[in-house]
Amino acid sequence: MTVEYRMDGQLRPITEYKAALVSSLGTYALAAVPSLAGLPASLSYTLAVATAAMAGTQIVNGRKLKRYQKNLTRLEAFAMTTEELPVSETEFYLGKGFDWTQVHAQRAYECQKQNGRKYIKQSPLYYKARELERYAAKTGKLRLIADLTSSGKIINGKKIAKRLNRIIEKRPALKPLATISNKLNYINLIDNPYAPLPPVGGEPYLHGVGASEEKDMFMELGGRNGHTLVMGTTRVGKTRAAELFISADIARVVKRKITYRGYDGSIVKKVVTEPEAMVAVLDPKGDADLLARCYSEAKRHGREFILFHLGAPDVTARYNGIGHFSQISECATRSTNPLGGGSDNAFKEFAWRFSNVICTALCRLRKRPSYDLIRKYIMDMEVLYLEYCKMLMVELEIENWQELHEDLKQTMKGIPASLKAMSRESLAFYMLIKEQQEAGNMKDDPVYEAVLNAVRYDPSYFSKITASYLPFLEKLCSGDNLKVLSPNYDDLDDPRPVFDWTQAARKRAVVYCGFDAMTNRDVASACSNAMLSDLLSLSGKIYKSGINYGVDGCLSTEKPVCYLHLDEANEMVGEEFMPILNKAGGSGMRVTAYTQSRQDLTVKLNDRAKAEVLESNFNTLIMFRVKTEDTAKLFTDQLPEVDLYDTKIQNGVTPDSGIIDDGLDTKVFSTRVSDSVGTAKTQKLITPDQIIALPKGQAFCIVEGSRVIKVRFPLPKESASTLPPDIESLCSAMRTKYNSYDGWWNEPTSHVQ
């Protein structure tokens, strides 16, 4: 059976223009001098039209081929403002690109062959132009020519106007030319084929093989339920992609049916247009541009903006990481999770137990748990015991309990050895409560028994056990962190709001959380892990009862969507992150995590198997350039294998035995030349080396299970936005501490991404 293979054959000289020239000459001859063809005039004119059509077709085909070959080395610039960003209720914008198929794998393979390399390399004149620019910069000579070669356009009005203005400044008599200079700013003609490439690196042909098919790429918004993992080494465009995704999530609105109770007590139902979901951005390092983007987009769309930043205690909102919970044991878990495990696990469990005792007692005392209160009572459990005993005295309604307590304190004798660690004041309460229990006036109180058991410990032994816990609590409660992470709810003079995730979800607010990890990594890790635990708890509550549970007149089963973006996610992954991925999707949680490599996840979790489980919970994978083959294989191992084809030319010479001997002294032979197409090799649809060679700002994506696309993200074309003074000063300080961009897109005149 014969199998037909089709190949593009686009890596070849452009012969279409020559064919178009011949056809054009034929058209002219047939139209101008019909007698030359020996045909009637009417038929000659008909043939002239036909040859003209042939010439036009050849020109179009030649232009397509030329554009294809040009796109292998440089692409048109792609930029947009956030106002131009496509936003839909049903789809999610990924950038410009195309579906990557076997055809594109074949084209990429042909580019890598020896006879195809010349089409993806710059011409010798390109390198000569760069040498000229270096010479001009060093000697100051030939500056005009160097400006011409370094411009994206051969006629670059801005550069000409700039040079003309310099001349006008030196010669005032030429001031009338200033008007011409202003008009030159808008004149840019003829692409410069030898313009410098932008510093994006990589191989442009990886996008050029499908540039002619490029269009806006979308994925189904429902696919975000399966969570998204964005991977790429540093400075390749992850944060820029995050800005686009976050901007789209903030801008998205939906029509929603709401139910509420009117002033007359009746239930009112109506349809309103409102923001789709809460957008939460967790940023360990604190990126100034990301913060500015979140704020400006929130204000532009009329969304409430909540700023939490450990590096800006004056303007940040306050947050109690253990103050909101579904079960009281969550407080102890969140406060002790950052402690080391392994050989220190016994100390961690001991710290958890006492932390749980303290938090349970605080709830009985009508106090909201906080890091500062845990620190206070774990240093002196007897203080908590005394407070709890006084509360019991009030609840039991014992008359003159103060006098009874004072008498016992003065007269007690024969203290048991098991109670010698307690002070006389505590012992007096112990005896007083014991009398009430023996008299049947007080039921068993597990909380009291737990606090009493903690007080009985020898203080020296207790301090040794909590030696690793107290330093951690001190970090959370020292300096400015004290009032930020352990807010005083009774301080009405503090203008900084205290936020919690339940209210943020109900308001569909935009929340930016910067943890200043470069200053204090331990505090940043503890705070981010507490937030993820808090979000997990909220997710469980929403899953069971809805977000409006207990709110009068609202639909209690409503489950709002929450878009959670985790920049540098490897800094925050822990035991609480796994349940968010594999269980929280049912409550509307949609996670987009950004990290650099697989190894980062393995190091953080200290277990390769756990890291693989984490990776398997992301249904959508977006991969920028990475530096290790192992990370690239996370993408390529999910792809099918395809056959790649190549041409084979065979020739040979054989004696011809069928010729009759005529007696002449001659040698008779036959030649054979064949040209065939066959399978050259079988490989993955995309190979690891192609991912490693991606230019900045470009990525491969696996969406909707099996759809593979190649995209590039737009360069920023900023619109005017104003930040308030406190946010602007914070962003300036953050830029001083950390610069997240190389600035490779700051030159929009270049026409390559």
Q: With helix as H, strand as E and coil as C, how does 553-619 read?
A: CCCCCCCCEEEEEECCHHHCCCCCHHHHHHHHHHHCEEEEEEECCHHHHHHHHCCHHHHHHHHHCCC
Lowest mean pLDDT among 227-236, 472-481, 633-642, 682-691: 472-481
- Cα–Cα dist 556/617, whole Å: 29
Q: What residues have CB less than 8 Å from 508, skipping those under 6 apart?
A: 274, 275, 276, 277, 278, 303, 304, 560
Residue 753 has pLDDT above 50, yes or no: no
Query: What was the pLDDT predicted at 540?
Result: 87
Is residue 151 very low, low, confident or very high in pLDDT (cuts 50, 70, 90)? confident
The full set of domain ranges for the chain reads 16-71, 123-196, 225-311+496-639+703-716, 329-476
Q: State how far the Cα of 27 lies from the Cα of 34, in Å rounded to an integer.
A: 10
Closest CA to 250 of 287, 297, 213, 195: 297
Higher per-residue confidence, 576 vs 589: 589
Identify the bridge partners of residue 282 per DSSP, sorted by sequence position.
Answer: 513, 566
**Least confident interval from 357-361, 478-482, 663-667, 705-709:** 663-667
> Which residue would you say has higher pLDDT here, 4 or 212?
212
Looking at residue 359, its pLDDT comes to 95
Contact 211, 71 (CB under 8 A): yes
pLDDT band at 187 (very low <50, low <70, confident <90, very high): low
What 3-state DSSP class applies to 667? coil
- Pairing verdict, β 510-514 and 91-99: unpaired
Identify whether the C-beta of residue 477 lies closer than 8 Å to the C-beta of residue 321. Answer: no
Helix runs in 192-272, H state only: 205-208, 238-251
Greater confidence, 39 or 407?
Answer: 407
Please say if the pLDDT value at position 744 is more than 50.
Answer: no
- When comparing pLDDT for 352 and 740, which is higher? 352
Cα separation, 578 vs 558, whole angstroms: 24
Q: Look at residue 158 in the predicted model and tell me its pLDDT.
A: 67
Angle of helix 446-455 relative to helix 424-438, nearest 10 degrees, comes to 150
Where does the pLDDT of residue 746 fall: very low under 50, low under 70, confident under 90, or very high at 90 and above? very low
Amino acid at 659: I
Which of 68-77, 235-244, 289-298, 337-346 is predicted least confidently?
A: 337-346
Q: Is the pLDDT of residue 669 over 70?
A: no
Confidence band of 123 (pLDDT split at 50, 70, 90): confident
702-738: pLDDT as tens digits: 998 889 999 999 987 765 456 777 677 777 776 666 5
With beta carbons less than 8 A apart as the criterion, state whether 467 and 351 touch.
Answer: no
Strands 641-655 vs 79-80: parallel, antiparallel or unpaired: unpaired
pLDDT for the residue 459: 73
Provide the 10 A C-beta neighbour count for residue 208.
24
- Are the CB atoms for 498 and 318 separated by under 8 Å? yes
Axis crossing angle, helix 329-336 with helix 521-545, rounded to the nearest 10 = 150
User: Does 665 have pLDDT greater than 60?
Assistant: no
In tens, the pLDDT along 593-639 reads 999 999 999 998 888 999 999 999 999 999 999 999 999 999 999 99
Model pLDDT for residues 281-334, shown as the tens digit of each residue? 999 988 888 898 999 999 999 999 999 999 888 889 999 999 988 889 999 999
Q: How many CB atoms lie within 10 A of CB 333?
A: 20
Res 741 pLDDT > 50? no
Mean per-residue pLDDT of the chain? 85
* Residues 682, 684: Cα–Cα separation, whole Å: 7
Residues 691-701: pLDDT tens digits? 999 999 999 99
Asked whether the beta carbons of 381 and 362 are under 8 A apart, the reply is no
Q: What was the pLDDT predicted at 750?
A: 35
The pTM of this model reads 0.86
- The pLDDT of residue 50 is above 90: yes
Q: Tell me: pLDDT of 667 over 80.
A: no
**What's residue 541's pLDDT?**
86
Cα–Cα distance between 340 and 346 in angstroms, integer? 10
**In angstroms, rounded to a whole number, what is the distance separating the alpha carbons of residues 632 and 625?**
9
pLDDT at 1 over 60: no
How is the chain split among helix, strand and coil, in percent rounded to 5? Answer: 50, 15, 35
Find, among 569, 563, 565, 623, the residue nearest to 242 by Cα.
Answer: 565
- Return d(Cα 51, Cα 27) in angstroms, integer: 6
pLDDT at 748: 39
In this structure, what DSSP letter does residue 420 have?
T
Check residue 736 and give its pLDDT.
67
Q: How far is residue 462's CA from residue 380's CA, in Å, rounded to a whole number?
A: 10
Q: Domain 225-311+496-639+703-716 class? A: alpha beta
The CA-atom distances, in angstroms, between 250 and each of 82, 92, 281, 532, 595 are 11, 12, 11, 21, 22
Is 13 buried (19+), middle (13-18) or exposed (0-12) by CB count in 10 A? Answer: exposed
**Could you tell me how far CA 245 lies from the centroid of its own chain?**
8
Q: Name the burial class of residue 54, with classes exposed (0-12), middle (13-18) and buried (19+) by CB atoms within 10 angstroms of its CB.
A: middle
